[in-house]
Amino acid sequence: GAVVSQHPSWVICKSGTSVKIECRSLDFQATTMFWYRQFPKQSLMLMATSNEGSKATYEQGVEKDKFLINHASLTLSTLTVTSAHPEDSSFYICSAWGGQRDQPQHFGDGTRLSIL
């Protein structure tokens, strides 16, 4: 089945640091990639949608200057959390979609971000 790889799986860093998370579709071309965050015991919350070569579309309440998204190729999207603070600590998950109506989104295994 379709595989989406997310890296790193876990990162701890100091407050004020910027952190980049990569999302790769390994065996298909992803016309659209999505970024979610999930707090403990809660559901996934969609942060933004990105199409290859276009600017990302952010959901209401998500700061585009804080969460920079780049989707430079059909197999790679990156999320950069700029000047991270403890409140940005969360589980970040990406998904990728190949653009065919009868095919679902496939998710990465998430990145646990802890800001000290």
Partner 1 sequence: LAKTTQPISMDSYEGQEVNITCSHNNIATNDYITWYQQFPSQGPRFIIQGYKTKVTNEVASLFIPADRKSSTLSLPRVSLSDTAVYYCLARGYNTDKLIFGTGTRLQVFP
What would the two tokens of residue 87 be? 């409140």
Q: Name the site residues for partner 1 (rule: CB under 8 A).
A: 1, 4, 6, 32, 34, 36, 43-46, 49, 91, 93-95, 97, 101-102, 104-110, 112
Collapse the DSSP code of 57 into the 3-class scheme (helix H, G, I; strand E, B; otherwise coil) and give the result. Answer: strand
Nearest residue (CB) to partner 1, 51 versus 82: 51
Task: Count other C-beta atoms under 10 Å from residue 32's C-beta.
Answer: 18
Residue 83 CB, nearest approach to partner 1 (Å): 26
Tokens linked to 62? 């998500």
* Residue with Cβ nearer partner 1 (16 or 26): 26
Q: What are phi and psi of 16, to 5 degrees?
A: 100, -10
Query: Which residue is associated with the tokens 């496939």?
Result: 106
Minimum distance from residue 43 beta carbon to partner 1 (Å): 5
CB 104 to partner 1: min, Å: 5
